[in-house]
Amino acid sequence: MREAFREWLGQRGFTAKTQSVQWSQGNRLEAAFGDLDAAYDQDALATIRTTLTYTKQDERNGRPNPAPFPIDGDVYANLAGYRATITYYSQFREAEAGGREAPVGTLNLAALQEMKVQFLEKYPDFADLGFQAKHGSYWDDERAYKDVVLGRVEQTLSTTDPDESSGAKVLSLLWQPPSNFVGWRALSHLESLSQMDRQAVTDAIDEMLADAGPAPASAARCASRIHPRFTGGSLRTLVTTAQALARPQDALAVKTQYLQRAAKRLTGRGPFKSNVMTEAEYGELLSLVQSIFTIMRDDWDWSPRDFWDVQSFLWVTSDVASNETDLEEAEAPMTSEQALAVPPTNLILYGPPGTGKTWTTAKRAVELCDGMAPESRSALMARYRELVARKRIGFVTFHQSYAYEDFVEGLRPETGSDADGMEGGTGFSLRPQPGVFRKIAELAQANRGRPIAEPTSYRGRQVFKMSLGRSGQNEGERIFRDAIEGGYVALGWGGSIDWTHERFDDFNAIKARWQEVKPDATGQDPNIQQLYALRSWMKVGDLVVVSDGNKAFRAIGEVTGEYVFAPVERSEYNHRRSVRWLWHGNEPLPRELIYGRGFSQVSIYNLDPEQIAWPALEQIIAGGGEAASIGTAPEPYVLIIDEINRANISKVFGELITLIEPDKRAGCENALSVILPYSGETFSVPANLNIIGTMNTADRSIALLDTALRRRFEFEELLPDPKALAAASARTGVDLVSALEGLNARIEYLFDRDHQIGHAFFMPCKTADDVAQVMRTRVIPLLTEYFYENWEKVRQVLGETEDEGAFITRTRLRPPAGADPYESGEGRWRYAVRTDIAVAAYDQLKP
C-alpha cells in the first residue's frame, strides 16, 4: 500500500482520524490478502471485494463472518467499512494512473459540519442514540419505515423463484405503504404505459437487481434501457431506489432536486445534467456519499447502518423536506422544453473503406432513436429498416453535384392552375419545395413525444384525402380552424339539402334528389360524387388526411360519427362528419412522406392503399397526438449523410451550418431561426434531430474538410480491426488476422493510414476461394488506384519479390523493332493478377 494514499485522502477532505482509520484498515487487509497494489493490478480488487460482501439478509440468516480475520462486534457494519477502504484505494489508484479523476472536488468540511448541526437541531436526542438505535425521533421520522421496506425487498429477493421476475415485485413494493420513495405521478405514468413498455421497464429492473457488478454501471445500463419510457428525475428515482433497496450498502435512492442542492453545498457542483443518468454522474454522487458515510462512522461515531442513513441526513438538511409537492414536481418526467435542452448529436464517422462505417452508422442511429440497439446484426438491421419506414431515420448520399436546393429547399416546376386552385391552368410555375433536411426537420419538429398507449395499427382502413377550405385563403383558413376546434370535417358540395335520410345511402337516390335542383346534372357532378363519398362511402373508423394544396397535408383524423347536416349561415360547408383529430401541425408536412402520388384537387376521395406509407403515417399519428395521450420528450430523429465529404459543404448547408449547433437549436438557450430564401418562411432546426455523417478518408482527408463543419461536429475514427476476422480465418483456413495487419502496416508506411484496407472486405468470406476473389476483384484494384497504377508499389505492399509472384506476375516486354532498348532503363513489364492464389500466398502478407 502506497504512502501517497494518505496524502490523497487528505486532499479529498478527510480528517487525520479518518486517514488513520483507512490506513489501519488497509494494513489489515494486506495482512489477510497480500499486497493491495498487486491485487489491484490483477483484478482491480474485485476478488477481495467479493470475499467481504455481506448483506442484511446474511445478517438476518446469521451467516458467519466471511473475512479471513476476526471481527468484534457488528459484522455487517465493519465489513462495510473495509469495503469502503477498498473503494477508496481503487479510486486512489485510478487517479494516480491518470485515469478517472477523483469523482468529487474537495469536500467542504465546514459545510458538512453546518449540516451536522442542522441535523442535531432537528433531532436533539440523536447525539446520545446514533443511527443504530431503534427508537427516538430520527428512528420514528426517517428510519423505521425504510427498515420495513428494506426487509420486504430482502425477503422478496431471497424467496423469488429464478423463473419469476423480481423486478416486477420490487417495483410493486415502491408504492406500498409505508413506502413513499417514488411519487404517485411516476406510478400513474408506469400504469399508463403499454404492456410491452411496462414489461421492458420490469425486465431492465430485473437485470439490474441480478447484476452484482459496480452499482453505477449497473444503474446506468438500466436507465438507458428504460429511457425514454421514463425520463429526467423520475427515471433516476425509479432506477436508483430499486437498486438502493436491494443494495443498501453501496447504492443510493436519488431524488434529484435535494441531492443536487446538497452536492453543490458540499463540493461546489451538482453531479446531474438534463440527460439519461450516466455511470460517471451516479458514481460521483456515490463517492460523495461514501465519504460522508466514512466521516459519520470514523469521526462522528454515529455508526450509520448503510447509505440510507446518509440519504436521510442529506434529505433532512437540504431544506426541501417540508415541500414534498414541489419536489415531486421536480421529479416528474422532463417537459418538452427540458428535453430540447439535451444536446443533440452531430457526429461524423470517418475511416478507410471497409471499416464498418455503414454498420456502425445503423447501430448509432437505432441507439439514438430507441436508447439501445439489438445485439444481432439481423435484428439491428430489421429495426433500422423499420425506423426508416417510419421516417424517423432519413438517409442521403452527398456527391459533387449535390446542392442547397436538394438539401434544404429549392424551386421546382409545377403545372399551372386556375385562380381557384383547380387543375387545368396552362403553363407552369416555379414553386419552393422542401429538401431532404427540411422534410425530416419538420417531422422532428411535429413530434410531441412517445405515445403512452400502445400504438394503433390503421392498416386495412380506408383513408380519404379531404380539403377543408382553399389553402392560403382567409375563408379557407377559418373553415380549417373551426373544424379542428370543433372536431369535424365539412364538405362544401351538396347544397343546402339535408341528406340524413337512410334512402340516401344509395348513390342513385342522391343523384335523383340533386337532379331535382339541377335537372341537367350527371353522375360526375361533384355535388353528387363528393356528397356520396362523405355521406355513404366514408365509414366510422376510417381516416381522413386533410390536404394543404396538392403537395402537403396539415391534419389527420379518425371518423367517429355518421353524416350530420349542419347548415351554417353564409357558408356552403353544410355537411359534416365528426372526427377525432389524431395529428395536426402548426406547419404542413410534405405529401410524399405518407403518399406516393400527388394529391388531386378533388375535395374528397379514397387514397390508393398501395401508395400509402403506412409506417410513416402511423409514426406521425403516434408521435403527434394531443398532450394527454403522449409522453413528455419528443422522440429522437436521425439524418444520416453518407459520403459527407464529397459535396461542397458550405454550398449545401448554407445557413444551416449555424443552426445545427446544439445551443442554436429550436427551444435551446441561444436558439436561432432564419428566413429561407425561396419560400420566405421562418425555419429553425429542432433539438431532437441528430445528424450522423460518414466519410471515406481514401477520398479526402479530414484535414481538408470545411473548417466550419469541423467545428460543429464530433469526429470518431473507425480503423481496420483485423481481430474481427478471427471467425472468417477459422472458416476459410487463411490467417486473415495476420495478413490484414501486415498489409495495412505496409500501406501506412508507403502511403498513409487513410488508405488502409478495411476488415469488412473479408467478413463474408467462407472459403479460401472467396478470399482469393476479394483479393483479385477488390483489394488489388483498390491498391492500384491508391498508388496511381504503380504496380511495383503494389507488389511491395503484397510482399512480392519474384516475377512469378503469389498474387501478381510480371513479364518483361521485348522492345519493338527500332526502339532504343536502353531508353526505358530496366525495361518495361506486363503485370497480371493471378487467377490461382494459393493459401500459402497470404503468409507473405504477415508482419
Instruction: Write the DSSP assignment of 633-666 as a string of letters.
Output: SPPPEEEEEETGGGS-HHHHHTTHHHHTSGGGSB
For the record, the C-alpha cell of 62 comes out as: 446469521
Cell numbers 441531492 label which residue?
Answer: 259
- If one counts every other C-beta atom within 10 angstroms of the C-beta of residue 71, the result is 16
The 10s digit of each residue's pLDDT in 637-684 is 999 999 998 888 889 999 888 999 988 888 777 888 899 999 888 899
In a domain, 101, yes or no: no
> At a CB cut-off of 8 Å and minimum separation 6, what does 301 contact?
130
Q: Cβ neighbours of residue 103 under 8 Å, at least 6 residues apart?
A: 91, 280, 283, 284, 287, 288
The predicted pLDDT at position 843 comes to: 94
What grid cell was written down for 534?
A: 362523405
Same domain, 731 and 712: no
Contact 365, 392 (CB under 8 A): no
Instruction: Record the cell numbers describing residue 262, joined without a space.
Output: 446538497
Model pLDDT for residues 562-611, shown as the tens digit of each residue: 999 998 877 789 999 999 998 887 778 899 999 998 898 899 999 999 99
Domain with 65, as residue range(s), is 4-96
- Evaluated on CA atoms 259, 263, 265, 270, the torsion sign reads negative
Q: At what angle do helices 184-192 and 324-331 cross, to 10 degrees?
A: 30
Please answer whether residues 720 and 758 qualify as being in contact, where contact means their C-beta atoms are separated by less than 8 angstroms: yes
Question: Does residue 302 sit in the same domain as residue 398?
Answer: no
* Structural domain contains residue 420: no
Q: According to the model, what pLDDT value does residue 716 have?
A: 92
Residue 319 banded pLDDT, cuts 50, 70, 90: low
- Residue after which a domain boundary falls, among 661, 691, 717: 717
User: 839 and 726 share a domain?
Assistant: yes
User: pLDDT at position 623, please?
Assistant: 78
Cell of 258: 435535494
CATH number, domain containing residue 474: 3.10.590
Q: In this structure, are residues 368 and 295 in contact, taking their beta carbons and an 8 Å threshold?
A: no
pLDDT for 629 equals 46
Strand partners, 716: 349
Which of 131-135, 386-390, 645-649 has the lowest average pLDDT?
A: 645-649
DSSP string, 266-308: HHSS-S--SSSPPHHHHHHHHHHHHHHHHHHHHTS-----SHH
Quick one: which of 153, 180, 178 has its CA closest to 167?
A: 153
Q: Which residues are within 8 A (CB) of 607 and not within 5 positions of it... i.e. 6 or more apart?
A: 463, 464, 465, 545, 595
**What count of residues does the chain have?**
847
CA distance 545 to 466: 6
Q: 360: closest CA among 778, 731, 695?
A: 695
C-alpha cell at 821: 532498348
Amino acid letter at 216?
P
What are the grid coordinates assigned to 272, written together?
A: 446531474
**CA-only gyration radius of the chain, Å:** 35
Cβ-Cβ contacts under 8 Å for 566 (sequence gap 6 or more) = 488, 490, 574, 575, 576
State the residue for C-alpha cell 508507403. 750
pLDDT band at 472 (very low <50, low <70, confident <90, very high): low
Percent of the chain with pLDDT over 70: 88
Confidence of residue 244 (pLDDT cuts 50, 70, 90): very high
Q: Characterize the bridge pairing of strands 488-491 and 543-547.
A: unpaired
Check residue 355 and give its pLDDT. Answer: 92
417: which strand partners?
423
CA-nearest of 738, 715, 446, 808 to 593 is 446
Please name the residue that has the C-alpha cell 415531486.
Answer: 328
> In this structure, are 192 and 287 located in the same domain?
yes
Of 334, 360, 382, the position where a domain reaches its end is 334
pLDDT at 423: 45
Q: Where are the alpha helices (DSSP H) in 97-183?
A: 109-122, 126-129, 137-138, 144-159, 166-173
135 plus 89 within the same structural domain: no
Q: Are residues 299 and 150 in the same domain?
A: yes
User: In which band, very low, low, confident or very high, does the pLDDT at 126 lie, cut at 50, 70 and 90?
Assistant: very high
| 166 and 306 fall within a common domain | yes
- Of 695, 717, 739, the residue that ends a domain is 717
Residue 771 lies in a domain: yes
Average confidence (pLDDT) over 259-271: 83
Is 435 contained in some domain? no
pLDDT band per the 50, 70, 90 thresholds, residue 418: very low
Backbone angles phi, psi at 695, to 5 degrees: -145, 125
In a domain, 444, yes or no: no
Nearest to 14 by CA among 327, 288, 308: 288
Q: What share of the chain is helix, strand, coil (3-state, %, to 5)?
A: 50, 15, 35
Kindly list the distances between the CA atom of residue 518 and the CA atoms of 492, 495, 502, in Å, as whole numbers in the listed order: 16, 11, 22
Range in 319-323, 617-621, 788-792 with the lowest mean pLDDT:
319-323
Mean pLDDT of all residues in 409-418: 73
Confidence class for position 466, pLDDT limits 50, 70, 90 = very high
Q: What is the tens place of the pLDDT at every residue in 325-336?
A: 333 333 333 343
The cell numbers describing 119, all together, are 441535523
What contacts 24+ positions apart, CB below 8 Å, involve 841-846? Answer: 841/806, 841/807, 842/734, 842/735, 842/736, 842/739, 842/771, 843/735, 844/798, 844/799, 844/800, 844/806, 845/738, 845/739, 845/740, 845/742, 845/743, 845/798, 845/799, 846/735, 846/738, 846/739, 846/741, 846/742
pLDDT of residue 99: 46
In this structure, the answer to whether residues 238 and 156 fall within a common structural domain is yes
Confidence band for 185, pLDDT divided at 50, 70 and 90:
low
Q: How far is CA 738 from the centre of its chain?
A: 36
Instruction: Give the pLDDT of residue 740.
Output: 96
Pairing mode, if any, of strands 689-696 and 682-683?
unpaired
Tell me, what amino acid is at 847?
A: P
Least confident among 375-379, 464-468, 475-479, 639-643? 475-479
Is the pLDDT at 59 greater than 90, yes or no? no
- What is the model's pLDDT at position 328? 37
Give the confidence band of 515 by pLDDT, cuts at 50, 70, 90: very high
Q: Is residue 426 part of a domain?
A: no
How many Cα atoms occupy the beta-carbon half-sphere of 751 within 13 Å? 25
pLDDT-based confidence at residue 455 (cuts at 50, 70, 90)? low
321-326-329-335 Cα dihedral, nearest 10 degrees: -130
Q: What is the mean pLDDT of residues 379-386?
A: 92
CA angle at 579 for the pair 578 and 580, rounded to the nearest 5°: 140
Give the C-alpha separation, 447 to 440, whole Å.
11
Q: Is residue 427 part of a domain?
A: no
Please name the helix (run of DSSP H) or strand (run of DSSP E) that holds residue 833, with its range, or none: strand 828-833
**CB 543 within 8 Å of CB 560:** no
d(CA 232, CA 237): 9
Provide CB contacts within 8 A for 569, sequence distance 6+. none
Do 688 and 751 belong to one domain? no
C-beta of residue 619 within 8 angstroms of C-beta of residue 589: no
Q: Is the pLDDT of residue 417 over 80?
A: no
Flag the least confident range among 177-186, 441-450, 719-728, 748-757: 177-186
pLDDT digits (tens, 9 = 90+) for 270-316: 787 656 788 888 988 998 999 899 899 888 989 999 999 999 999 88
CATH code for the domain of 686? 3.40.50.300
Burial class (CB in 10 A: 0-12, 13-18, 19+), 570: exposed
Task: Provide the pLDDT for residue 322.
Answer: 40
Does residue 422 carry a pLDDT above 60?
Answer: no
pLDDT band at 765 (very low <50, low <70, confident <90, very high): very high
More confident residue, 410 or 163: 410
Q: Report the C-alpha gap between 786 and 579 in whole angstroms.
A: 63
Give the pLDDT score at 375.
81
How confident is the model at residue 289, as a pLDDT?
93
When mean pLDDT is compared across 247-261, 337-351, 470-484, the lowest value belongs to: 337-351
Cα distance between residue 356 and residue 173, in whole Å? 45
Is 434 domain-assigned? Answer: no
Q: Are residues 522 and 591 in the same domain?
A: yes
φ, ψ (nearest 5 deg) of residue 425: -65, 165
Q: Which helix (H) or strand (E) holds 229?
A: none
Average pLDDT, the chain: 85
Q: How many CB atoms neighbour CB 651 within 10 A?
A: 13
Q: What are the Cα distances from residue 632, in Å, to 334, 342, 365, 663, 761?
A: 6, 13, 21, 20, 44
- Check if the beta carbon of residue 311 is closer than 8 Å to that of residue 321: no
Provide the domain count of the chain.
Answer: 5
Q: Which of 74-88, 490-504, 710-724, 787-801 has the lowest mean pLDDT?
A: 74-88
Question: By the 8 A CB rule, do 37 and 93 touch?
Answer: yes
241 confidence band (pLDDT: 50, 70, 90):
very high
pLDDT tens per residue across span 688-707: 999 999 999 887 666 567 78
Q: Are residues 766 and 650 in the same domain?
A: no
Say yes or no: 612 and 644 in one domain. no
Give the model's pLDDT for residue 413: 84
